[in-house]
């Protein structure tokens, strides 16, 4: 059986529940990491490599993801990152999520999900974010570009898109998972 077939499928409602549990329990670092995966569609590895300097706070927050794409992020994700950085200020070249904590985060998340009667892994978060975008009717090319899905075998650049597609995607994810 393929590996993907064994991964739990997380519903949008269950994802909201898990995000709210992290917020309610005051787990700021975990809440920031999970918010970035769910509300900005980052991969677990992208979150773990993200430096403070790759995040641009403000009324229209942005992320520079591995130098491959620059995306606006949902306000709820920015609020979670801002809360974490307010509690644990760091220099621009430091990792946003502590490397020691990043290693334990997957286990912590799975345990928290289980305690809430939900089957989920960290990888489920990005999957449900993509599913939410599909269900909202976002064009496939927008999803591929925003989420950094590069299916080209020769690693060609992603399809160029008109300005504003990424802001619309951030609004879609905010509507699906934001608080």
The string of pLDDT tens digits covering residues 80-108 is 999 999 999 999 999 999 877 767 888 88
C-alpha 40/C-alpha 36 separation (Å) is: 5
Q: pLDDT of 130-142, one tens digit each?
A: 999 999 999 888 8
Determine phi and psi for 168, rounding to 5 degrees. -65, -40
Domain 3-172 fold is hpI Integrase; Chain A (1.10.443)
Task: Output DSSP code: residue 66.
Answer: T
pLDDT per 10-residue tile (average), the chain, 179 residues = 60 93 91 94 93 95 90 95 95 89 82 91 91 92 86 54 83 89
**pTM greater than 0.85:** yes
């Amino acid at each position: 059986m393929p590996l993907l077939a064994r991964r739990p499928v997380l519903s949008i409602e269950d994802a909201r529940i898990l995000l709210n549990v992290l917020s309610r329990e005051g787990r700021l670092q975990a809440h920031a990491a999970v918010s970035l995966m769910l509300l900005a569609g980052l991969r677990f590895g992208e979150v773990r490599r993200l430096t403070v300097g790759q995040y641009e706070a403000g009324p229209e927050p942005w992320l520079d993801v591995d130098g491959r794409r620059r995306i606006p992020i949902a306000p709820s994700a920015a609020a979670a990152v801002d809360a974490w950085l307010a509690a644990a200020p760091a220099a621009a070249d430091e990792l946003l999520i502590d490397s020691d904590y990043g290693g334990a985060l997957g286990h912590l998340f799975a345990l928290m999900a289980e305690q809430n009667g939900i089957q989920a892994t960290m990888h489920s978060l990005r999957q449900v974010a993509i599913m939410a975008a599909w269900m909202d009717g976002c064009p496939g090319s927008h999803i591929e570009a925003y989420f950094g899905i590069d299916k080209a075998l020769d690693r060609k650049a992603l399809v160029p898109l008109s300005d504003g597609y990424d802001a619309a995607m951030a609004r879609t994810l905010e509507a699906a998972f934001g608080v």
